[in-house]
Structure 1
Amino acid sequence: MTEFVLDPRLQADSAFIADGPLSQVRLMDDARFPWLLLVPRVAGATEWIDLDGNQQRLLLAEINQVSKLLRGEAGVQKLNIGALGNIVRQLHVHLVGRHEGDAAWPGPVWGSGAMRRFDADALAASVESWRLRL
């Protein structure tokens, strides 16, 4: 059996928060949006259908849990949830808190402007804040 390895692009663009029952929970390093990733620790998975039924149920439960927390973030009016995979093939789910007037509104966050990375202290504080809530 092949071991799960995080895609280097996800590693470079996000920070580890915690391991859920199935997925790594990660914070996208883009201060423009409250933006989390769920990356199932399933080697070779690129599509939802690559997960067995139990794994799909676990991922859905993780999406629901994280979405409820994200919806509680200040200013969040809308949740965008997507698993695109056109650039990074490894299965991962984006959960993005949106509001009218955000940097990409009303369009998608993907491909909208340049990432604005957190400074090191803000990134560490945000990761710890999410870790305490999960």
Structure 2
Amino acid sequence: MSAFELDPRLARDTELVESFGLCQLRMMKDSRWPWFMLVPQRNDVSELFELTPLDQALLTFETNMVAAALKKATGAEKINVAAIGNIVRQLHVHIVARFDRDPNWPGPIWGYGQAEPYEDTAKQLLIKSLTENLVS
């Protein structure tokens, strides 16, 4: 079994927060939305159905865990969950907190405007709040 390889575009656009049983939890380098993603640590997988049944169950569990923690951490009105992968084919699941006052509400976030980097303190506070809510 070869070591897991993260797509270079995901590596460039995200930061590792932590690793779970199946996925890496990564934070998008864009402060416009509280935006995380889960990347199953499986090479050569681009579709959900290509995962084993056990990995599919783990991905569902980890997605729901992060989505619930993000909602609790941010008080978001809506949590968007999507696995699109038209550009970056490596399977990854976006988990985004949305508010009616956020940029491009209620439209999609993909391809909208330019990413805005986080201030380090704001980034660390969001990560801390999310990870604290993962365990509760």
TM-score (norm 1): 0.91
Q: Which moved more, 1:68-77 or 1:4-13?
A: 68-77
Q: Which moved more, 1:17-26 or 1:1-10?
A: 1-10
- Give per-residue Cα distances to partners, 1:20-67, cap 9 Å, x unaligned: 110000111111111110000011111101101000000000011011
**1:6-85 counterparts in 2 under 5 A?**
6-85=6-85
Give me the whole-angstrom Cα distance separating, in 2, the residues matched to 1:130 and 1:45: 27
Give me the whole-angstrom Cα distance separating, in 2, the residues matched to 1:38 and 1:32: 19
Output the amino acid matched with 2:18.
Answer: A
Deviation at 1:132, TM superposition (A): 3.9
1:113 maps to: 113
- 3-state SS, counterpart of residue 73 of structure 2: coil
Output the amino acid matched with 2:25.
Answer: V
Pairwise CA RMSD = 1.5
- 3-state SS, counterpart of residue 73 of structure 1: helix
Does the aligned pair in 2 maintain the 1:22–1:40 contact within 8 Å? yes
Question: Structure 1: any 5+ residue segments left out of the alignment?
Answer: none
Give me the whole-angstrom Cα distance separating, in 1, the residues matched to 2:128 and 2:10: 19
**1:114-129 counterparts in 2 under 5 A?**
114-129=114-129
Output the amino acid matched with 1:63.
Answer: T
TM-score (norm 2): 0.90
Deviation at 1:121, TM superposition (A): 4.1
Give me the whole-angstrom Cα distance separating, in 2, the residues matched to 1:65 and 1:86: 25
Q: 1:86 to 1:60 in 2, by over 3 A?
A: same
Does the aligned pair in 2 maintain the 1:80–1:97 contact within 8 Å? yes
Question: Structure 2: any 5+ residue segments left out of the alignment?
Answer: none
